[in-house]
Amino acid sequence: MSKQPETMTQEIQEVHIHRDDFGSKMGLWLFLFTEILLFGGLFILYASYRFIYPEGFAAAATHLDVLMGALNTIILLTSSLTVVLGIVALQKNKKKLCLFFLWITIFCGILFLVNKYFEWGAKFQHGIYPKGPALQDMSEGEVMYFGLYYVMTGLHGLHIIVGLAFIGFVMMQIKKDILTSKNFQKLENAGLYWHLVDIIWIFLFPLLYLIH
């Protein structure tokens, strides 16, 4: 039966979906899969060209500083630790401690980028960059290596920046008590993103630096 609305004006409809932390986590993981396949494409190309040009790759890798690479690996692993410690702290309702750990994470991320800046800088100085003078004298394998080197570390560096922004945003929400010991999924999500960036580097390090 048709009913006349009781009043001529109508209340504004808003649909509030209840909070779903696991759904939020699931969404973030699905997004991480897209990142894995994005880098995955580059890893496939790396595998292919390393297969085609084994000597070229080995020769090119000698231009990389293993110590720098190892240092950066340790920096990122530590930053992953501090993110998790930050989450634990927040879960234990230790807001200040949480922010302290997250600041260390940010610091580590910036340190990583600074190292990267110097690494790249040193190569640019030696003319080792796409279409650069040093590459004109290199073998095809070495040229392929450096093409991949810059794209992979560049894309990775971009993701470090995004990860830092994500963590920074979440830190703001923690400071404002939007995220608390009872509502921390967003922090976990930022952590998940950061860990993925760490894992990608875990593979990049041996593949780019440790070829013999």
Q: Restricting to residues 19-38, which ones interact with another protein according to CB under 8 A?
A: 19-23, 25-27, 29-31, 33-38
CB of 16 to another protein, least distance (A): 5
- Interacting residues with another protein between 115 and 174 (CB under 8 A): 130-131, 139-141, 143-144, 147-148, 150-151, 155
Q: Which one among 63, 91, 100, 157 touches another protein, defined by CB under 8 A?
A: 91
> HEC profile for the chain?
CCCCCCCCCCCCCCCCCCCCHHHHHHHHHHHHHHHHHHHHHHHHHHHHHHHHCHHHHHHHHCCCCHHHHHHHHHHHHHHHHHHHHHHHHHHCCCHHHHHHHHHHHHHHHHHHHHHHHHHHHHHHHCCCCCCCHHHHCCCHHHHHHHHHHHHHHHHHHHHHHHHHHHHHHHHHHHHCCCCECCECHHHHHHHHHHHHHHHHHHHHHHHHHCCC
Question: Is residue 85 a contact point for another protein (CB under 8 A)?
Answer: yes
Question: Is residue 103 a contact point for another protein (CB under 8 A)?
Answer: no
CB of 107 to another protein, least distance (A): 16
Cβ closer to another protein: 164 or 191?
191
Q: Which one among 128, 170, 179, 191 touches another protein, defined by CB under 8 A?
A: 191
CB of 158 to another protein, least distance (A): 11
